[in-house]
Chains A and B, each alone.
Chain A
């Protein structure tokens, strides 16, 4: 079955440090890839997505992610964490345009002052 795995249910970084949230998917067919963010007491909102073209994708709030087909990965990064980045982050995949999204387990990001 197709799946997506996020390594680490909790990640803690210091303010100003690099943020790296890991996501791997299982498929030989390149999927559409997404990162969603959920702030406390809110629904999810789209951070960025990869469909085709450039493998380095830039999103909102300074986040970016790189699609690496050879590693079946789509890790999310941000050079310098801010306190407001504290949230839960979900990686998701879809295997056709407009198809169902399959979500990972989520990674909770904490940012220490």
Chain B
């Protein structure tokens, strides 16, 4: 089975901190995605990457950046965390050209 692993299930940070959310997949998938999930808003795409060292802005990239130095790892970075970034963050991956996404279990981030 494909496994997408997010390093933390729960994370509590303070306003202004730099936050790293890590995601690792074990199926050699080219594409990787970061979404945030908020009640009533569904999933919104923050950033995605079609392959190593490639990145594209999604629908809500403001306040975030990403890093993809290795194929299996896609990191989401909050340069200076703010309270409105409190959310559930979901990582996903898939094979290039395939529609099926495989998701991690999510990281619930609270920014105080």
**Complex contact B41–A97 (CB within 8 A):** no
**Complex contact A46–B97 (CB within 8 A):** no
Q: Tell me which residues from 13 to 28 in chain B have a Cβ below 8 Å from any Cβ of chain A.
A: none
Q: List, in ascending order, chain B residues with CB within 8 A of A105's CB.
A: 40-42
**Complex contact A97–B105 (CB within 8 A):** no
Which candidate, A37-45, A58-66, A68-76, is the interface stretch facing chain B? A37-45
**Complex contact A43–B99 (CB within 8 A):** no
* Smallest CB gap from A45: residue in B: B103
User: How many A residues are at the interface, by size bracket?
Assistant: 20 to 34
> In the assembly, what is the distance between CA of A51 and CA of B106, in Å?
27
Q: List, in ascending order, chain B residues with CB within 8 A of A42's CB.
A: 105-106
- Shortest CB distance A88–B (Å): 9
> In the assembly, what is the distance between CA of A49 and CA of B98, in Å?
12
**Complex contact B97–A97 (CB within 8 A):** yes
- Shortest CB distance B102–A (Å): 8
* Smallest CB gap from B41: residue in A: A105
**Complex contact B41–A100 (CB within 8 A):** no
**Complex contact A51–B90 (CB within 8 A):** no
> In the assembly, what is the distance between CA of A31 and CA of B92, in Å?
21
- Shortest CB distance B10–A (Å): 11
A42, A90, A106: most-surrounded residue (chain B CB, <10 A)? A106
Q: Decide if B96 is an interface residue (CB 8 Å cutoff).
A: yes
* Smallest CB gap from B56: residue in A: A100
Q: Which residues of A contact B (CB under 8 A)?
A: 6, 9, 32, 34, 36, 41-46, 49, 51, 90, 94, 97-98, 100-101, 103-106
Q: Which residues of B contact A (CB under 8 A)?
A: 4, 31, 35, 40-45, 48, 58, 90, 92, 96-101, 103-106
Give 7 nearest A-B pairs by CB, closest first.
Answer: A43-B103, A103-B43, A98-B97, A105-B42, A103-B42, A44-B103, A43-B105
